[in-house]
């Protein structure tokens, strides 16, 4: 192992150690803690976490690929992606908390009817699947590069690390990690 690989391994283990410590300190015991972090995450931290999630591997890889594949015509998708994020953040997200709901299908189902709930659920699943493909591809690229794995195994390792972290810390751990990666401040306790 040369010096560059040793330093890479050191920083990789240090970073994972910090994130696992955050997850361990934020571990959850109840459903409410898992899904909404007991509603105790400050607004700034939650907003920063959502923005960090939007500016993630799926965004950068997907949008860069779209622009490379379609040229300037791909900018329409970029505007739709950004516009949809802004509309969701401004018109829907504040009301989820106000109405005490965990998911968009739950919110629109209570506001309208079960047909709308099913449409929202199917849309959420399709969108989430598309998003997760980009995220796992990004995670696979990172793990393949740093660990020298094949792309298939790198995606498996990335999925296992993300699964472990999400199960341990729930939304609180994920939010604080996302916030930590976009802010110099430490999360409040």
**Chain segment 156-178, per-residue pLDDT in tens:** 988 888 787 777 766 666 666 55
Q: Assess whether pLDDT exceeds 50 at residue 138.
A: yes
Nearest one of 130, 34, 141 to 84, comparing CA atoms: 130
Most confident of 28-37, 43-52, 110-119: 110-119
Domain ranges in the chain are 30-182
Which tops the pLDDT comparison, 78 or 120?
Answer: 120
pLDDT of residue 189: 45
Q: What's this model's pTM, rounded to 2 decimal places?
A: 0.62
């Amino acid at each position: 192992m040369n010096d560059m690989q040793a330093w890479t391994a050191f920083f990789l283990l240090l970073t994972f150690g910090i994130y696992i410590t955050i997850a361990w300190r934020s571990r959850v015991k109840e459903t409410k803690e898992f899904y909404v972090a007991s509603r105790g995450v400050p607004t700034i931290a939650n907003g920063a976490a959502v923005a960090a999630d939007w500016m993630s591997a799926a965004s950068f890889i997907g949008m860069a690929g779209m622009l490379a594949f379609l040229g300037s015509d791909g900018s329409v998708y970029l505007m739709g992606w950004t516009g949809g994020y802004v509309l969701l953040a401004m018109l829907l997200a504040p009301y989820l908390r106000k109405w005490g709901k965990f998911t968009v299908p739950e919110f629109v189902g209570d506001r309208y009817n079960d047909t709308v709930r099913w449409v929202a659920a199917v849309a959420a699943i399709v969108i989430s699947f598309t998003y997760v493909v980009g995220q796992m591809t990004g995670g696979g690229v990172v793990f393949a590069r740093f660990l020298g794995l094949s792309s298939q195994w790198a995606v498996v390792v990335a999925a296992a690390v993300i699964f472990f972290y999400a199960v341990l810390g729930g939304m609180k751990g994920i939010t604080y990690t996302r916030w930590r990666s976009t802010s110099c401040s430490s999360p409040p306790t």
